[in-house]
Structure 1
Amino acid sequence: MSERYQQYFSANRDHHLNELKELLAIPSISALSEHKGDMQRASQWIADSLKKAGMDNVQIMPTKGHPVVYGEWLKAEGKPTVLIYGHYDVQPVDPMELWDSPPFEAVIRDEKIYARGSSDDKGQVLMHIKALEAILHNEGTLPLNFKFCIEGEEEIASPHLAEFVEEHKDLLAANVLVISDTPMLEKGRPAICTGLRGLCGLQIDVKGAKSDLHSGLYGGAVQNPIHALVHILDTMRNPDGQITVEGFYDKVVPVSESEREEYRALGIDEERIRQELGVPAFFGEKGYSLLERTWIRPTLEINGIYGGFQGEGIKTVLPAEAHAKVTCRLVPDQNPDEILELIRKHVEKHTPPGVTVSVSFFDRGRPFSTPIDHPAIQAAGRAYEKVYGVPVAYNRMGGSIPVVETMGRILDTPVVLMGFALPSENFHAPNEHFHLENFDKGLLTLCEYWFELERSLS
């Protein structure tokens, strides 16, 4: 099967890359209202591509935000159904001056395609469409039934997708949910992600006097909101990196020693990573490796802190207020709402006299994990190994994709995270790119996977 499909994809490579360039030229930035028209254009482009590939019942379905594109092929009677999820929206491109080429004019350099959305997630979405198109062209049919759910709000935390999925559970019902929006371990080393950390965020606002005060007249007699904020934040973590918020770790599910051994066997070069990051040393909970700290342990991080005079030189004031933004990455079975409430109580308990403090809650998403031994995941591993010629790695990710847990829970279906991007491809940053080696091999892997999955689930 592989040789025939290799010939097909080789013959159609330029055509497929030109189509990808068309899609990448649409500045579908979901976070910016001025791009609402571009979001419509991108959704229409995806819908047209699904139709050309042979999908039926293709719809651009409205939500309270940007639309969802749906399509299906349900002619494999008696066979299981796969739901493929992806997103057509992209991150903003700032700072523009750091791009080596215009972010929405895709260029190929050194067998990498550079443009916003090339790896996250337009390139991977198009691969799914083209893989099924290839199978239909070569076989006249598909080994399984397929549905597509391609949304336009992933980069703004999918605020309307849960409601959409709840309303359309029957339409989206499937035996397996497959998502390609995660990275491989490194070049030449494919990985299937079996766990994602959850997320919750908050802002702490500390207020003192009704206005800034002269530090000579009132310094030492009036509480300084910045000092108060620093004190509050400092009580949240000890020098060993452990989080000291009461109850924070209570529901953390311990990871088995066998899984930790699998991570050690990956042979990650921590010293190389340290040098690449330019840090003098790593920091974190004692007793855990770099991978464990970023994959299986929860965090509490200060993402921003501000207040008082920010200009050149010195201004001798006691600021009237100070602010901090804090996020936590969560692991099974931590509940983001419960964690936020624990932090709010901690802030109240440790607020010094002389200031008032308020806490506002922001983004939240539940952690996700899935068993490695599920037949759908093992089939994905075999497909990777056939094409890449190396054993697949089963890993977790430190990042958060709330939609994964949301869709898996609402639809009550196993989730397979098989991505083809590389961690070094600058997604969310200037000069985002996608290695065409993985575009080529990814198409073959997906074709292999659908036949492997049909055999595994039959």
Structure 2
Amino acid sequence: MNPKIQDYLHTNREAHLKELTEFLSIPSISALPEHKDDVRRAADWTAQALENIGMENVKVYETNGHPVVYGDWLKAEGKPTVLIYGHYDVQPVDPLHLWDSPPFQAEVRDEKLYARGASDDKGQTFMHLKAIQAVLETTGTLPVNFKFCIEGEEEIGSPNLPLFTEENKDLLAADVLVISDTGMIEKGKPTICYGLRGLCGLQIDVRGAKSDLHSGLYGGGVQNAIHALVDIVNSFHNENAEITVEGFYDKVLPLTDEEKEAYAALNFDEETVKQELSVSDLYGEKGYTYLERTWVRPTLEVNGIYGGFQGEGIKTVLPAEAHAKITCRLVPNQDPEEIVELLQKHIKAHTPPGVEVTTKLFDKGAPFLTPFDHPAIQAAGRAYEKVYEVPTSYTRGGGSIPIVAAFDQILNVPIVLMGFGLPTENFHAPNEHFHLENFDKGMLTLCHYWYELEKSI
């Protein structure tokens, strides 16, 4: 990589921070209708910023909600094309009184930039723009081709982006998709998340008698809806915390030896987790570590359960109905639709006599995985290591980002999650901030990555 690029980033640091401060001043809260004009303003700002760095074919695309901003630079003939995804919308800021400085007036304290969106995701999206500008202005060209897809609805679940992606597959076609909307495992420890769990779930509604019954008159002779629900819930797991739904594990991919080695290299301390959570023991599927249970194994959890008398004291009734909310975290190769069908079949088979059971489905999201040894993943690891001078950590995420799975399914492209945030940066909470150490090193890492990609794919 040309040393002039690093000099450019150093020389223009204050100008870049000033520009980012302007971006962060726009209260682009996608969840609140009163900020619709602000979200549009952020889209227009993003489009202008793309033009300013030399992107072409820049356009603000309308959707049924907030706009999607596109731009590209496709002059590297015969070279790979990178699609960069980010979002310009932010979370609400309440409770406002817990902020130490106004959320939309960015402020630097202790080499941290405080503002809503500083880490999630305006700051990280902005880094991509400035990294590309640094390469283009110092060398006159770029090592690979670029496309940008920057949306304004990520914080409300990206309801319109899957349809936009489906309708614009050719426009967004690329060799690799890069997203910087995740984090590093800890300060100074660069991290690539190469997989996320999917999600499906349902509500179980158990109905017994036509109304609550007097337990003295009917107790022992009529099925109690709560007892029936407990039977169903208890049937989901065995004594080893394994899920007993028939067929649930059939398509689960085993961990590779390389992945096991990568997780072991993290030297994760399970005792620290117990202390942080104030629990005496951890729990989970027998034969797996805590990281394996939370990253690469599927789960079935009861998120809520209710029924019967809830007030003070006691009311001697047999509840007529009871309810539970169930969600599953899914891993690669598990199909949310198929898992829901297996759950419904299991529930039907384990429904006790004397009650009727119905289910209501929740939203679903597929899991995603880019193979650990994919050249685009390994190139990202090398880029991190050149800047941070420590080995890159490779992780999977226990949570779900549905739009990542949608990109995976619709575009059929390897996805690299190159995050530069830290777990302590209060994204979605008051006093959100971004460590400027990672602002500086992150842009340099991205510049290295484009040259690594040029040689790798």
User: If the length of structure 1 is used for normalisation, what is the TM-score?
Assistant: 0.91
Q: Alpha-carbon deviation of 1:273?
A: 2.9
Q: Which letter maps to 1:398?
A: G
d(CA) in 2 for partners of 1:60 and 1:78?
A: 28
Q: SS state of the match for residue 363, structure 1?
A: coil
Q: 1:288 to 1:99 in 2, by over 3 A?
A: farther
Alignment of 1:73-88 (within 5 A): 73-88=73-88
The aligned counterpart of 1:370 is 370
Distance in 1 (CA, whole Å) between partners of 2:35 and 2:314 is 41
* Paired residue type of 1:56: E
Cα distance between partner residues in 2 of 1:453 and 1:349: 52
Contact 1:177 1:408 (C-alpha < 8 Å) held by counterparts: no
Does the CA contact (< 8 Å) of 1:251 and 1:333 recur in 2? yes
Q: Are 1:297 and 2:302 matched, yes or no?
A: no
Label 1:294 to 1:60 Cα distance change in 2 as closer, same or farther (>3 A): same
1:128-171 Cα shifts (integer Å, max 9, x gaps) = 11111222222222222110011223333333222211211111
| Distance in 2 between residues matched to 1:342 and 1:118, nearest whole Å | 42
Instruction: State the partner residue of 2:118.
Output: 118
Aligned partner of 1:265 in structure 2 is 265
CA drift at 1:61: 0.8
- Per the alignment, residue 281 of structure 1 pairs with 281
Q: How far apart, in 2, do the equivalents of 1:309 and 1:44 lie?
A: 54
Is residue 2:145 matched to residue 1:145? yes
Deviates more, 1:215-224 or 1:355-364: 215-224
The equivalent of 1:17 in structure 2 is 17
Q: CA deviation at 1:270?
A: 2.0
Partner of 1:360: 360
CA distance 1:351–1:439, shift in 2 (3 Å): same
RMSD: 2.5
Q: Distance in 1 between matches of 2:92 and 2:325?
A: 21
Name 1:453's counterpart in structure 2.
453
Bigger mean CA offset, 441-450 vs 19-28: 19-28
Q: Where does residue 426 of structure 1 map in the other structure?
A: 426
SS in 2 for 1:365: coil
In the superposition, relative to structure 1, how do residues 425 and 304 fare at CA in structure 2: closer, same or farther (>3 Å)? farther
Q: How does 1:326-365 map to 2 (within 5 A)?
A: 326-365=326-365
User: 1:41-440 maps to which residues of 2 (within 5 A)?
Assistant: 41-94=41-94, 99-213=99-213, 218-315=218-315, 317-440=317-440
Which amino acid letter does the alignment assign opposite residue 294 of structure 1? T
- For residues 232 and 41 of structure 1, do their structure 2 counterparts lie closer, same or farther at Cα, with a shift above 3 Å needed? farther
- Matched residue SS, 1:89: coil
Instruction: Write the distance in 2 (CA, Å) between the matches of 1:223 and 1:95.
Output: 46
Q: Which amino acid aligns with 1:143?
A: P
Determine the C-alpha separation between the residues in 2 that align with 1:100 and 1:320.
Answer: 50
In structure 2, distance between residues paired with 1:27 and 1:395:
33
- Tell whether the 8 Å contact from 1:193 to 1:395 is kept in structure 2 after alignment: yes
Label 1:22 to 1:326 Cα distance change in 2 as closer, same or farther (>3 A). Answer: farther
Letter matched to residue 344 of structure 2? R
Return the TM-score normalized by structure 2.
0.91
Match of 1:442 in 2: 442
Answer whether contact 1:55 1:73 (CA < 8 A) is retained: yes
**Conserved in 2, the CA contact under 8 Å of 1:2 and 1:444?**
no
CA distance in 1, matches of 2:374, 2:140: 29
Partner Cα distance (2:13, 2:210) in 1: 65
SS in 1 for 2:322: strand
Query: Is the CA contact (8 Å cut-off) linking 2:263 and 2:291 kept in structure 1?
Result: yes
Whichever residue aligns with residue 174 of structure 1, its letter is A
- Name the residue aligned to 2:36: 36
- Secondary structure in structure 1 of the residue aligned to 2:363: strand
1:442 deviates by 0.4
Separation of aligned partners in 1, 2:109 and 2:305: 39
Decide whether the 8 Å contact of 1:308 with 1:318 is kept in 2: yes
The structure 1 segments of at least 4 consecutive aligned residues displaced by more than 6 Å after TM superposition are: none
Displacement of 1:73 after TM fit? 1.3
- Deviations 1:80-101, CA, capped at 9 Å, x for gaps: 2111011223334455565555
What is the CA deviation profile of residues 203-248 of structure 1, one whole-angstrom value per residue up to 9, with x for unaligned ones?
2222344455555555555444333323322221223321111111
State the one-letter code of the partner of 1:262. Answer: A
Count of residue pairs brought into register by the alignment: 457
Supply the distance in 2 between the matched residues of 1:121 and 1:440 (Cα, whole angstroms): 16
- How far apart are the structure 2 equivalents of 1:26 and 1:356? 52
2:89 and 2:151 in contact (8 A); partners too: yes
1:270 corresponds to which letter in structure 2? Answer: E
Q: Give CA deviations for 1:268-307 in whole Å, capped at 9, x if unaligned.
A: 2222233223322211111111111111111111222233
Output the CA distance in 2 between the equivalents of 1:220 and 1:21: 68
Displacement of 1:112: 2.3
Q: In 2, Cα distance between the equivalents of 1:426 and 1:313? A: 40
CA contact (8 A) 2:259 2:372 kept: no
Structure 1: runs of 5 or more not aligned: none
What's the CA shift for 1:253? 1.3
Task: Please give the alpha-carbon distance, in whole angstroms, between the structure 2 residues aligned to 1:320 and 1:21.
Answer: 57
2:19 aligned partner, one-letter code: E
Using the aligned pairs only, state the percent identity: 70
Given residue 172 of structure 1, which amino acid in structure 2 is its aligned partner?
Answer: L
Larger mean CA deviation between 384-393 and 350-359 belongs to: 350-359
User: What CA distance in whole angstroms lies between the structure 1 residues aligned with 2:68 and 2:320?
Assistant: 45
Hey, what's the Cα distance between the residues in 2 that align with 1:454 and 1:160? 32
> Match of 1:177, SS?
strand
**1-structure distance, mates of 2:65, 2:37:** 12
Letter in 2 for 1:21: T
Change in CA separation of 1:263 and 1:14 when aligned onto 2, cut-off 3 Å: same
Is residue 28–residue 88 contact of structure 2 (8 Å, CA) maintained in 1? Answer: yes
- For 1:416, what is the secondary structure of its paired residue? strand
The answer on whether the counterparts of 2:116 and 2:433 sit within 8 Å (CA) in structure 1 is yes
| Aligned 8 A contact 1:184 1:191 in 2 | yes
* Cα distance in structure 1, aligned partners of 2:92 and 2:307: 27
Q: Distance in 2 between matches of 1:25 and 1:278?
A: 39
CA distance in 2 between counterparts of 1:215 and 1:109 reads 63
Could you list the runs of 5+ residues in structure 2 that have no partner in the other structure?
none
Distance in 2 between the 1:226 and 1:92 partners?
A: 38
* Structure 1 pair 310–61 and aligned structure 2 pair: CA distance change class (3 A): farther
